[in-house]
Amino acid sequence: MNQERSRYHIIDRQPKSEDILTEVLDGLSQRPKRLPPKLFYDAQGSLLFEAITKQPEYYLTRAEQAILDHIQEPLQALVPHPVTLIELGSGSGAKTRQLLRHLPQATTYVAIDISLDALHSALSALSQEFLHRQFIGVAADYGAAFSLPQTIDKNPKLLVYLGSTLGNFDPPEAQEFLERWAQNLSSCDALLIGIDLKKQASILHHAYNDAKGITAAFNRNVLTRINRECGANFPVNHFSHHAEYQAQNGRIAMYLVSHYAHRVSIAGHEFVFEQGERILTEYSYKYTITEFQTLARQAGWIPLAVWTDPRNAFSLHYLRP
């Protein structure tokens, strides 16, 4: 019975807690203090991010989904047959479901995500819906030096990087990241990437300051995680969420602001916080279509197609190395 039930396998290359501690100590030793955004995505943080994507102010996910819905035919025609999908930061897999429906030629799906929990729930659901495709998960930090699992087939590849997650890198880092993938892929492969567009500051402001305070909880959760995994004693409730659009840099910057002066100890290391001092937790860069295409060209990619939603809030780009 049930021979066709959820078949997938996961390779666990998750960062170890020592690696996380090293990055935390490193980031908090910088001025201004900072923490890498990938630390947001523990089990709780991944759930909070899912909740963010459903907030009325957070237009990004809905806009990208609307684009995906409208481009089924042109996308199916552009993408090679057969193809292996490789998705970076696959998260809950909600958008992947749409992609797999639209791309019957995708025989294999490789999901790379920092959260093992998110991978398990995404792959178990997807592999039950799509019985005749192969599913592989890799729990890893795809931003670190990273090579694809040897077990994947020799099909042409479609690299999928949705949600405007590239925006977490500053433009030189983003260019380097795209360059690395251009070099690792061949000319029959392709990239499908979602990029949030520059727009009116108030729309951006609300997207990162939702009325229910989910983004604030998501931001603070990183301290709860560090307390738990690194044996730190951050007074989590004495840090406020602050997100602002820095138009001169075309980015949202997200901070945790200390309410008062205090010291925090992390695995025997002590950090001093001034009253009002901020920890930078995330940048989210926004591009115009031309700005992104220029960056991509400089990184060795040829833009072949770009689509936007009716409100011009978000863009989806198809490129070849």
CB atoms within 10 A of CB 206: 16
Provide the residue type at 314 as one letter: F
Q: Minimum CB separation from ligand AVJ for residue 60, in Å?
A: 6
Query: Please, are residues 136 and 110 in contact by the beta-carbon 8 Å criterion?
Result: yes
Select 7 or 62, whichever has its Cβ closest to ligand AVJ. Answer: 62
Q: Where along the sequence are the contacts to ligand AVJ (CB under 6 A)?
A: 52, 60, 163-165, 167-168, 208, 215, 282, 284
Select 92 or 284, whichever has its Cβ closest to ligand AVJ. Answer: 284
Residue 73: phi, psi to the nearest 5?
-70, -55
User: Cβ-closest residue to ligand AVJ?
Assistant: 284
What is the four-CA torsion angle of 318, 150, 175, 122, rounded to 10 degrees? 60
Select 105 or 288, whichever has its Cβ closest to ligand AVJ. Answer: 288
Q: Is 44 exposed, middle or buried (0-12, 13-18, 19+ CB in 10 A)?
A: middle
Q: Minimum CB separation from ligand AVJ for residue 270, in Å?
A: 29
Select 136 or 253, whichever has its Cβ closest to ligand AVJ. Answer: 253
Given its phi and psi angles, is residue 281 left (phi above 0), alpha (psi -120 to 50 degrees) or beta?
alpha
Q: Minimum CB separation from ligand AVJ for residue 212, in Å?
A: 13
Gyration radius of the chain over CA positions: 20
Q: Minimum CB separation from ligand AVJ for residue 91, in Å?
A: 8
3-class DSSP assignment, residue 60: helix
Q: Minimum CB separation from ligand AVJ for residue 52, in Å?
A: 5
Cα–Cα distance between 45 and 41 in angstroms, integer?
A: 5
Select 208 or 273, whichever has its Cβ closest to ligand AVJ. Answer: 208
Provide the residue type at 73 as one letter: E
Distance of CA 32 to the CA centre of its chain: 23
Q: Minimum CB separation from ligand AVJ for residue 75, in Å?
A: 21
Select 143 or 163, whichever has its Cβ closest to ligand AVJ. Answer: 163
CA 19-164-214 angle, 5° bins: 75
Q: Minimum CB separation from ligand AVJ for residue 272, in Å?
A: 27
Q: Minimum CB separation from ligand AVJ for residue 235, in Å?
A: 22
Residue 153: DSSP 8-state: -
Q: Which of 160, 152, 109 is nearest to 130 (CA)?
A: 109
And the tokens for 294?
């220029």
Cα–Cα distance between 170 and 193 in angstroms, integer?
A: 16
Select 208 or 318, whichever has its Cβ closest to ligand AVJ. Answer: 208
Q: Minimum CB separation from ligand AVJ for residue 306, in Å?
A: 18
Q: Which of 149, 140, 150 is nearest to 118 (CA)?
A: 140
Select 143 or 156, whichever has its Cβ closest to ligand AVJ. Answer: 143
Select 100 or 253, whichever has its Cβ closest to ligand AVJ. Answer: 253
Question: In DSSP terms, which residues pair with 159 in a beta bridge?
Answer: 86, 191
